[in-house]
Structure 1
Amino acid sequence: MNSQQRSLMTESLVILKEKLHLSSWAFLGVLVYGSAGYMIIDPSASLVDALYMTVITVTTVGYGEFVDLSHSAIGRLFTISLIFTGMGVILYFVSNVTAFLIDGSLKKIFSKKRMRKMISRMSGHYIVCGVGTMGEHVIEELNRTKRPAVAIDINPCIEETFRERYPGAGYIQGDASENDILMAAGVERASGIVICTDNDKDNLVITISARQINPSIRVVARCSETKHAEKLRRAGANSVVSSNFIGGMRMVSEMVRPSVVSFLDTMLREHQNNYRIEECPVPKGSPMEEKSVGELKRRILLLAVILPGGDYVMNPSDDYRLLPGSTLVFMGSPSERQSVESIVNG
């Protein structure tokens, strides 16, 4: 049994325990109450006889009076109280079981099983740790640009809303700093992980864990305090994003280049075409290796080519030939991006 199956079984048992725990104790209390009462009413009755009398009374089987109540009005009144109490407990027990089956608890268990099965088939996807204010925007962008994603969040209250809003995305409820949760999200097969919880220390731990499990994964980590940025980089983050720094740069841009900011905002909010500035690496052995970019420029707006050494070729001419290890920077829709990736990767 793998960790995902163990986790699913644990969740199922916890839900069942919460539903039936009180009912079980109540039923045990009825047995003790009935047995003790019959032994007091008839001191000659053994514990087994008193217990048996209690069971057949509560279950309304009625095989006969194993405790003599023929001359005891108190005994019969006690039996009446036991019947009402026992039936109430049984009804409470049955209602809990029915609620467990009908109110969605069982449905949630199977839903989580289907979710984990879907995630287990994912490869090359993106993981988002922390579905807060920032994480929700990350998921939204991945969803709109048709990139497979799995979200991890410790808050159980947002799971249902998340699944309704992003039916194609995966969701794991749990602590992303735990290796089992990261493994359940498929971190060993993922292309990248965005770590954007509100706590820098949690982000540091998640960064270390993700890097240890998948040394080749791209890690982008959120940093609330700039003094922690270098620690995150040393822990394995490829990129560290400071919300304060980004916010400051945005405010300056709004001041000195408002038209550009307005254009980019409009592009990001456009739902019909979803144009983005994208990138596509050119691997060694690519069909486009040593080929001119003219064909690509007829499909997309090619802005630049990043060379293997890090230099840029801005607005390359049609006869510019691509080197292996280069990266294309272009503007296009999700479908155009997928078309370029298909051409470049063969």
Structure 2
Amino acid sequence: MNSEEGRSRPAWGYQALVSLPARTSTPTRELGRRALFALGLLVITVGLVYFDRGAYQDNNADHVVSLVDAIYYATVTITTTGYGDITPVATHARIINAILITPMRILFLVLLVGTTLEVLANEGRRVFRDARWRKRMRNHIVVVGYGTKGRAAVKTLEKNNCNPAQVVIIDGRPSAISDANIGGYAAIEGDATRRDILRRAEISKAREVIITLDRDDSAILVTLTVRQLNPSAHVVVAVREQDNATLIRQSGADAVVTSSDAVGRLLGLSAVSPNLGTVIEDLLSSGDGLEVSERQVTADEVGKSPGEVMGERVVAVVRNKTLRRFYDPTVARLETGDQLVVVRRSDQAAAPLPSGGERREFGGRRGR
């Protein structure tokens, strides 16, 4: 075989087959469809027996097989009960039973019994897993929208050692749900503006809610609904237009990120000075270069000024849940319990802290 002939023949083990869309159907409708098909097989069997009734013999009666007898024979035969009181006596009737009725009997059993049990078992297993998942969901994170922003948010959560089992994705696109499942995340397909969809995600027990939708009006409606169902959750929302940020905050968002403004500012800085744009992009992205991180102050750092912290640059201090810039005189000396927002090298991400403090990362990328 030459090489061209070998390339022209299909290699069945390595073909990229088309993935067709799944046909959605409720279990009740699916069972009804199978039942109708099984009834059709029964009707065909009754017709074969009745129209050839002269070739059958009822061992318990002298009369010719009637329609009721045909129905009775077809029923006990196709369900493999087979009492033996009515039997085919003619040769052609036995051949018909062998080549037609017997295969239909097998098909009937596979269709009505096998697939019915499979549908019921799969649905029951799904309901059981769903109930068990809901019971375990506490203090989890709900991400509404699994587009570019949503994926980046989830990736950042994962980079900060967030348990994937504690993240729930809500998106209306089947492709996004599939991608989330492949990534190891639980996902719910549906419109997050609907209360029943949010309740399915156990929104009332969530600790964090991240909303990254393409439309600001939808983001506002989702924020209002989330805040009604869970007044205590920390809600972060991405909006496209700065004018809508105030509405989002009034709707109950704890933090608002204006995506178009951020991108526009980055573009402007890059135009004014490519170096400024590179540094900002470096801080916002992840991988190499610089990282923005938040961590607990260590025992060795208590009493020092932010500028005296070695190996990292402190840009802000969180004290009593209030963010203070590094130049704020109230944080001239670090205290126990302070949270430090620092800029450091990304290759320090895996380095242990001197006193085992918690570290949270927010970005980083190789500078050009």
Higher mean alpha-carbon deviation, 81-90 vs 249-258, is at 81-90
Q: Secondary structure at the match of 1:207?
A: helix
- Cα deviation for residue 260 of structure 1 reads 3.2
1:35 is the counterpart of 2:49 = no
Q: 1:278 aligns with which of 286, 294, 304?
A: 294
* Residue aligning to 1:57: 77
Contact 1:128–1:151 (Cα < 8 Å) also in 2 = yes
1:304 is the counterpart of 2:322 = no
- AA aligned to 2:44 is Y
Q: 2:179 aligns with which of 149, 158, 161?
A: 161
Change over 3 Å in CA distance of 1:50–1:224 after alignment to 2: farther
Q: Secondary structure at the match of 2:36?
A: helix
Q: Deviation per CA, 1:71-120: give whole Å up to 9, x if none.
A: 69679748853433343344455774698799xx6899499549826x83
Q: Secondary structure at the match of 2:342?
A: strand
Residue ranges of structure 2 left out of the alignment (5+ in a row): 1-23, 54-63, 360-368
- AA aligned to 1:204 is I
Higher mean alpha-carbon deviation, 69-78 vs 297-306, is at 69-78
Cα distance in 2 between the residues matched to 1:51 and 1:243: 71
Q: Secondary structure at the match of 2:188?
A: strand
Cα distance in 2 between the residues matched to 1:216 and 1:16: 38
Change over 3 Å in CA distance of 1:156–1:36 after alignment to 2: same
**Structure with greater Cα Rg:** 2
Q: Secondary structure at the match of 1:271?
A: coil
Contact 2:240–2:260 (Cα < 8 Å) also in 1 = yes
Higher mean alpha-carbon deviation, 84-93 vs 249-258, is at 84-93
Cα distance in 2 between the residues matched to 1:59 and 1:188: 51
Q: How does 1:90-101 map to 2 (within 5 A)?
A: 90-92=109-111, 96=115
Change over 3 Å in CA distance of 1:187–1:267 after alignment to 2: same
Cα distance in 2 between the residues matched to 1:57 and 1:272: 72
TM-score, normalised to structure 2, is: 0.64
- AA aligned to 2:249 is R
Q: Deviation per CA, 1:174-194: give whole Å up to 9, x if none.
A: 432333443443433433211
1:129 is the counterpart of 2:144 = yes
TM-score, normalised to structure 1, is: 0.68
Cα distance in 1 between the residues matched to 2:181 and 2:354: 26
Q: Secondary structure at the match of 1:275?
A: strand
Residue ranges of structure 1 left out of the alignment (5+ in a row): 1-12
Cα distance in 1 between the residues matched to 2:309 and 2:83: 90
- AA aligned to 1:57 is T
Cα distance in 2 between the residues matched to 1:257 and 1:141: 28
- Cα deviation for residue 139 of structure 1 reads 0.9
- Cα deviation for residue 241 of structure 1 reads 3.2
* Residue aligning to 1:87: 106
Q: 2:266 aligns with which of 250, 254, 279?
A: 250
Cα distance in 2 between the residues matched to 1:338 and 1:172: 40
Higher mean alpha-carbon deviation, 194-203 vs 54-63, is at 54-63
Contact 2:293–2:342 (Cα < 8 Å) also in 1 = yes
- Cα deviation for residue 203 of structure 1 reads 1.9
Q: Deviation per CA, 1:127-181: give whole Å up to 9, x if none.
A: 210111221111111111223433222333444432333x3x5433443233344
Cα distance in 1 between the residues matched to 2:279 and 2:29: 53
Cα distance in 2 between the residues matched to 1:14 and 1:327: 52
Q: Secondary structure at the match of 1:175?
A: coil
- AA aligned to 2:315 is L
- AA aligned to 1:320 is R
- Cα deviation for residue 229 of structure 1 reads 3.9
- Cα deviation for residue 253 of structure 1 reads 1.6
Higher mean alpha-carbon deviation, 242-251 vs 327-336, is at 327-336
* Residue aligning to 1:116: 133
Q: Secondary structure at the match of 1:303?
A: strand
Superposition CA RMSD, Å: 4.7
Cα distance in 2 between the residues matched to 1:187 and 1:21: 35
Higher mean alpha-carbon deviation, 184-193 vs 70-79, is at 70-79
Matched length: 314
- AA aligned to 1:55 is T
